[in-house]
């Protein structure tokens, strides 16, 4: 094969391979498969840990350490009855209270953690969620 044709073929092949790889990665993340860091991703908006309120970051530290938790409900099964999180079997999600300063009770803020390491934050008592990105 002449040199020009070989170069053209190599460039075309590399381009096709790049498009195939990019499409595969985009499909994987959209389907809830693990991203390269290993955390399952959802279609929900994301929030970086650094952008969470300080009490949410403190609750996340407690979750990572395995407790102790300030409320007896912390670690209980979150049923996802509203269907706002990705559908998973019952028992997959656990919920934890994020204290709200000035609230006499648990308040509306929660972290919900999936068995595969996916974490979601709500500040409006389950009406909306953002996925915590680590």
Which residues are tagged catalytic? 95, 125
The alpha carbon of residue 127 and the mean position of all alpha carbons in its chain are separated, in whole angstroms, by: 17
Is the torsion defined by CA of 88, 50, 98, 75 positive or negative? positive
Cis link prior to 45 (omega < 30° from 0)? Answer: no
Question: In DSSP terms, which residues pair with 77 in a beta bridge?
Answer: 94
Residues 6+ apart with CB under 8 A from 115: 88, 92, 93
Element (H, E) at 65: helix 54-65
Q: What are phi and psi of 132, to 5 degrees?
A: -80, 125
């Amino acid at each position: 094969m002449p040199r020009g044709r070989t170069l053209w073929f190599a460039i075309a092949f590399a381009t096709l391979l790049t498009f195939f790889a990019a499409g595969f990665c985009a499909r994987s993340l959209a389907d809830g498969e693990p991203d390269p860091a290993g955390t399952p991703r959802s279609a929900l908006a994301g929030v970086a840990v650094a952008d969470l309120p300080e009490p949410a970051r403190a609750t996340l530290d407690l979750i990572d350490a395995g407790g102790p938790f300030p409320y007896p409900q912390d670690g209980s099964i979150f049923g996802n009855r509203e269907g706002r999180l990705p559908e998973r079997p019952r028992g997959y999600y656990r919920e934890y209270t994020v204290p709200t300063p000035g609230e006499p009770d648990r308040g509306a803020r929660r972290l919900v953690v999936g068995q595969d390491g996916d974490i979601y934050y709500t500040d409006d008592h389950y009406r909306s969620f953002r996925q915590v990105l680590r």
